[in-house]
Structure 1
């Protein structure tokens, strides 16, 4: 007698015996979970790779004796720091080429263009992270909707059958609660990953800002010499 009951309470059986609305909720939540895991894995690998490549690029950049030569050789590397240097050098060369030199204005423009480049890099890297936040905040409530709907259907069936024994009530209630469990299964990893990836992006932003500030100081000294 216990084996059939256990079979009826298995995840697959709970899904197959659930109401069509509850099934739709479960399928939607499972798809959301797969989607979020794809985003998590992709962004985690991408962030790790960018941090590693950025560290190497910046180390070689500060070790180079000729910044212009290094930029000509490595300026097109797919690294945020390379694009910051490109934006800074472009503005610096434009400012130096002006007939009337305005050192204060040149420094402000350098700050603006490099800060904008840092923000652009963070915008590109944070793409689709809002999906994790959306799933983390909405999945439990979507699962709860499936649970409420399933419990309502179960009570309706119980009233029609005139039988309130646990054997009759339990399967329907379990099917309904399974929707909430799937909602939590989708939401918890999304929430944890969103917080971790956001923290990683904040650290990368701080690193890029430090690099931009140091490069800005280098260009400012060149303006003073000019």
Structure 2
């Protein structure tokens, strides 16, 4: 390619508006990649913590013992530990042994675990809406830069007596670069958003299954205490 029509030279020779559009798209791309990498790390760590907690959960049938272990790690609890502790504390909120109170405690524990799980999912979801906005808006921002650049190029042709490809091509080329920048920003953001939102949904399913398992165990424990008291 001729040096006069290199991509770098076209960017430098583009109009002010087109350059501003490209600069905005570069910033959006940098932000989206930063968000993608940080969210990916958070989701990997969350999946590891879920797997680790399930190992402890499967080897500790005694809920009181498990609650004590997780309480000792209160300064650095995982999402699963926070869900478990929220439910267990609510389960043992009162010391009444009446059957009605035991049922109410288990139901309250179930609700508070769902609330805690939803809060954990909200934390994982945080920022993904911005990624979706970048994915959907970048092509249009790039298209605006292209339309503006082409319009500016054709206006410049008004002062030329005879328009040729050699005169028109550089202006159109520098305008189309804005569209390329928009796609460069939008494509990774779109792919990453769909992938990340799927992973968040999978983790949400794991939370829901865990809450249901705990609710069953809480009911069994309370029924056992009820039988012993009777």
| TM-score tier (shorter) | over 0.9
Is 1:25 the equivalent of 2:46? no
User: Residues 122-177 of structure 1: CA distance to partner in whole angstroms, max 9, x if unpaired?
Assistant: 00111111111000110000000000000000001111122310010001001111
**Which residue in the other structure is 2:228 paired with?**
none
d(CA) in 1 for partners of 2:70 and 2:186?
A: 42
User: Residues 184-220 of structure 1: CA distance to partner in whole angstroms, max 9, x if unpaired?
Assistant: 1000110110000000000000011111110111011
Q: Normalising to structure 2: TM-score of the pair?
A: 0.91
**Which residue in the other structure is 2:79 paired with?**
80
RMSD: 1.5
User: Residues 101-138 of structure 1: CA distance to partner in whole angstroms, max 9, x if unpaired?
Assistant: 43443332122111101100000111111111000110
Is 1:208 the equivalent of 2:204? no
Is 1:8 the equivalent of 2:4? yes
Q: Among residues 39, 43, 57, which one is paired with 1:47 in the alignment?
A: 43
SS at 2:147's partner residue? helix
Contact 2:121 2:204 in 1 (8 A): yes
**Which residue in the other structure is 2:95 paired with?**
97
Structure 2 unaligned blocks of 5 or more: 226-230
d(CA) in 2 for partners of 1:28 and 1:78?
A: 39
**Which residue in the other structure is 2:177 paired with?**
178
Structure 1 unaligned blocks of 5 or more: none
Q: Normalising to structure 1: TM-score of the pair?
A: 0.93
